[in-house]
A and B are shown apart, each in its own frame.
Chain A
């Protein structure tokens, strides 16, 4: 078995269809701009009061499901890809193995939740961007990209879904998201702690890792899917991020990056829609 497994080779059965971030961003349609033609700002936040709430929640739940698979795969690869001691500390690998177990449980929970919500495995396309962030050759960059950026997004998503379950009176959803949220806070904290420890005497490596985290944070804002703005379906879970070890400054940075991603995506969609309209004229 090779070390450093390429994202293109992630093994899936026939039910799954994988797409890349490029595919996703190449879609000229967007919910972010759909109401703006009428001169109004969209409120896309995922709440039960949305007309399409059930289907939107189902779609997001499937996104969580495939994200958990990739997080499981990423944690597992970190156990294998680096030599113990010289490339990654033994204790770090133990934490990654623990995370693999947690993510495996999250996959199990997600499958059961999807079944509860009436979604089939593989019913939605799988964006493989999460695993891509887990492919770095430096374990510190993986921690920054996966544990702090990706798992940070998971905190935001689970908080949104937990609130959704609570508002809808769905005890099953609320219960599951509550438990998964607890694990994610642990994973982010794990990432924050290891990042500090491994780069304690290497400011250059820390800087590089934080820059990488910034890039991934922006990528994981999915072009505005997650931000403080009501236009984004997923909000920024400030309190849980704080529990996970993010400083106020870091949370503000993520909020700014997410807002920027939202604005950039809206501008890109407007350009693509103008081009498509022109092509159709």
Chain B
């Protein structure tokens, strides 16, 4: 039986979490506001598209994924006040004007024969960018001070990977001709260029790079 009086190290030998992180509270809140805005636009688009796609399996998947992204936006909405932003709507903003144009282009397809374009926009462009932005955040934020964000990121990333796989498989099953390969690629390129301009879900620096902030938090 362990001796209750014997002092133990506060961090177990296998606990290798580190205190420093790339983001201060303000930067973390800004990013999370961008995430919330983008997740909202995504769940709204998925919900809107349900009525426009004739493929029953796609229709059901979009309805299911719609909720997952709504839940992600709710997680971010709840996180913002914990980051000193008592008015979450203030930070619920697109990263920049290019991101607004990206969402407009993403949600433009409506006709029933454009399911490939709808899915490509979400599963080959938008969600991969969510995954990269979230992964960067998870790997660079303080593992101790920002643990609540990391916990949400872990849940959300699991969803994003699952949905990405679902969506990619739907796209592959819908593409049956060389022309359709071209259609998918062309739409992906159009949207990727807009996303490039936007710099990612949280703007330039979404996945680090030259403009990412330096380590600030201890």
The residues of A with any CB-CB pair to B shorter than 8 Å are 1-3, 5, 9-13, 69, 72-73, 75-81, 84-85, 90, 93-94, 96-98, 100-101, 103-105, 107-108, 111, 121, 131
Contacts and interface: CB of A to CB of B under 8 A. Distances in A.
A107 B60 contact: yes
Given A79-B48, A94-B70, A100-B50, A72 B40 contact: no
Contacts of B71: 94, 97
A2 B48 CA distance: 9
Interface string B98-119: 0000000001111010000000
Contacts of A80: 44-45, 47-48
Given A5-B52, A11-B112, A79-B46, 6 more contacts: A73-B51, A76-B66, A97-B67, A97-B69, A97-B71, A104-B63
Interface string B42-76: 01111111111111100111111011111101100
Interface string B66-100: 11111101100100000000000100000000000
Nearest to A6: B51
Contact of A100 (B47, B52, B53, B74): B47
B74 to A, nearest CB: 5
A97 B43 contact: yes
Given A2-B110, A76-B62, A97-B67, A11 B43 contact: no
Interface of B: 40, 43-56, 59-64, 66-71, 73-74, 77, 89, 107-110, 112
Which of A5, A73, A75 has the most chain B CB atoms closer than 10 A to its own CB?
A: A73
A75 B63 CA distance: 9
Contacts of B53: 11
A151 to B, nearest CB: 16
B107 A1 contact: yes
Contacts of B40: 84, 90, 93
A177 to B, nearest CB: 19
Contacts of A72: 50, 59-60, 63
Contact of A77 (B43, B51, B54, B112): B51
A122 to B, nearest CB: 10
Contact of A1 (B49, B56, B69): B49
A272 to B, nearest CB: 33
16 contacts: A1-B52, A1-B110, A9-B52, A69-B59, A73-B51, A76-B48, A76-B62, A77-B48, A78-B47, A79-B46, A79-B48, A80-B48, A97-B66, A97-B67, A100-B66, A105-B64
Contacts of A11: 51-54, 59, 112
Contacts of B107: 1
A3 B110 CA distance: 10
Given A1-B109, A13-B55, A79-B66, A97 B60 contact: no
B153 to A, nearest CB: 19
